[in-house]
Amino acid sequence: MDYREGAEQKTPLKKVWMGMIPIELQLAAADAIELLASAVLPEPFQTFYMLAPRVGYLPFISSKIRERWLDPMLALSGPRIPNEQSIKEADMWFEYKNQALKWHYPVGLLYDLLVGDVHRGDGELPWSLTLHVRKLPTAKIIAQPSTTLMRDMFMAVIKEADFIRNGSTKRVMDLTKSDQMQFLDGLETHSYEKYFSIHSIIVPPTPTQSSFAADHRALALSASPPPSLSAGSSKPRGTQQPKAIPVRFYMQTSGTQDDGGSKDGGSAAAGTANAAGNGGSGSATTSTAATNSSAGGGMLGAAKQADITQYIVSQVPIPLYRDEGSGSSADMTTVADAFKLCYEITDQSNDAFVGNCVCISHGVCVPWESPIAWLAENFFYADCFLHLVVISI
């Protein structure tokens, strides 16, 4: 499928890709003093405003910030120290309410994790961030946030997503060098055409609930199968059935954790969901992804300031169907099903979290009954993962 030709049919996808977050930047006072011997920046450089793509990454906007804000400011005012004329992008890092932002996370994901009231449509806009150009806190974020390293890390995640979907990384590894460069250039420059012309090679279209429903209705009304169905098959032709969907959940708790991408929230996470559903307190633990949550943790109330260490990150391959080999649109895996799989909630009758928590992706509250297959086509981030943030309400 050519995503350029299918733009009209891919309205949700196009809207997700074009999503922007207005950002208000101020230079940290300590950095301003080092650079200019004054905490007060000259006119008109006190504040810098820009739009950042939700699917993009902070290192990709650092060059624009330096070229359009910092370099002209230094050229006009003159640096305090002569050799400070050039600011290195690899030294630039961002902070929100005293939290260093993980630059290898998509911008939109960071916003959904840290900004309150996103689920009410009342998140902070513009997003007020502090820029630092010195003393990168390597204990909290990865060092050297350069565009080169960001590209390398991004391709590593793309390979991981490819392996989850197809059981191998062949689709990514078979890309030519020019295809890889176009793919990465499309991401860095936020070019829909460049990115999706290669993305459609890596991720062929997935059968969605609507396509299944249409095909099965046609079968019921006709003595012969419709062209999109082969004999004896319930799956449409011309589509690629993935082995699983790459999904990461970020469940907010009142405990703390280390950053991680692997799963093992385990049944303790179910206790956390139970606590949220019953309005009580609970504890949550996770092994490689997080340290033990504090006693009486439970889900964090929406009124409290979010902290990125308060999320338990869980990732498991999510099947398209609840029952393997089903192929029925009625049995497609939903967001609620995926959440239970990720946090090993085995009690199928426990759906308390559905009424007491919201699932957010790209700033949108995603219904718990949404089919994962549809989200996989329309709500994925540029790294081909679904990033779903779960908070209590």
Tokens of 374: 């549809």
The residues near 84 (Cβ < 8 Å, ≥ 6 apart) are 34, 35, 74
Most confident stretch, 133-142, 209-218, 225-234 = 133-142
Domain CATH for 79 = 3.10.20.620
Higher-confidence residue of 287 and 128: namely: 128
**pLDDT value of position 74:** 87
| Residue 233, domain member (yes or no) | no
- Average pLDDT of 24-34? 93
CB 371 within 8 A of CB 207: no
Higher-confidence residue of 192 and 254: namely 192
210 has a pLDDT exceeding 80: no
The pLDDT value recorded for residue 2 is: 45
Q: How many residues does the chain have?
A: 393
Among 74, 53, 68, 29, residue whose Cα is nearest residue 189: 53
Question: Has residue 87 been placed in a domain?
Answer: yes
Segments forming the whole domain that contains residue 21: 8-141+283-298
Task: Give pLDDT tens digits for 263-296.
Answer: 433 333 444 444 433 333 333 333 333 333 332 3
Average pLDDT over residues 189-208: 87
For 146-187, the pLDDT digits (tens) are: 999 999 999 999 999 999 999 999 999 999 999 999 999 999
Name which of 341, 170, 310, 174 is nearest 245 in CA terms. 341
Say what percent of the chain tops pLDDT 70: 70
Q: Is the peptide bond preceding residue 44 cis, with omega within 30 degrees of 0?
A: yes
Residue 388 lies in a domain: no
Give the residues across from 23 on adjacent strands: 50, 127
* Location of structure tokens 């633990």: 285
The mean pLDDT value for 301-320 works out to: 80
Instruction: Decide if 149 is inside a domain.
Output: no
393 vs 390: CA distance, rounded Å: 10
pLDDT at residue 227 is higher than 50: no
Q: In whole angstroms, what is the distance from residue 324 CA to residue 341 CA?
A: 14
Q: Is residue 80 in some structural domain? A: yes
Residue 231 lies in a domain: no
Per-chain mean pLDDT for the chain: 79
In a domain, 237, yes or no: no
**Amino acid letter, 173:** M
- pLDDT at position 225 over 50: no
- CA distance linking residue 150 with residue 338, whole number of Å: 29
**CA 293 – CA 304 distance, rounded (Å):** 17
**Neighbour-count burial for 322-331, b at 16+ CB within 10 Å, e otherwise:** eeeeebebee
Position 226 in a domain = no
Total structural domains in the chain?
A: 1
